[in-house]
Homo-oligomer: A and B are copies of this chain.
Amino acid sequence: MKLPHAVTLMPLQRHRDECGWLAEIFRDDWGQAKPCQWNATVSEAGVLRGMHVHRSHNDYLVIVQGLMTVGLYDIRPDSATRDLSASLEIGSDDLVALRVPTGVIHGFYCHEPTIYIYAMNAHFHPDDELGCFWADPELRISWPCRDPVVSERDRRAGSLAELRERLGSFTFA
């Protein structure tokens, strides 16, 4: 599976014992962008969150419970993988940190109740919560669902073409 440039999957080490497990999920000496904010998200089975894209921050995401299909699309005009579409399945069994850089549109379909934690290297701001409709055929993402539960905001999202127009000639970091 080819991923958009600078999307990375970093394996994390899980320490299991009779109690459950524990893992370091982020350390500031791992060379990632310094987060200034962390969010937690809990989703029911059948939920799709997306598609979202940001101009000002990367997402650094760890699934601590559940399983999801991640859909990605590279909208960066200057990217070596411009217009690349990808989807991959990640769950808490894998225990990886997924980095999604600015300019990579992303959405998450949850196969089961799923909890993930994510770090941002800029504070949340509604103006930087851009997106497009998850089922836009131009995204070429094979979602494993037909009628997912989608938030009102995501249901009302415009097309990929409209998102391109809104971004204009914006240059992603």
Contact = CB atoms under 8 A, between A and B. Distances in A.
A28 B122 CA distance: 10
Interface in A92-146: 113, 115, 117, 119, 123-124
B23 A40 contact: yes
A85 B62 CA distance: 35
A84 interface: no
Contacts of A151: 17-19
* Number of this chain's copies in the complex: 2
B42 A26 contact: no
Interface stretch (A1-9, A43-51, A67-75, A159-167): A43-51
A25 B47 contact: no
A152 B115 CA distance: 28
A115 B149 CA distance: 24
A157 interface: no
Contacts of A113: 20
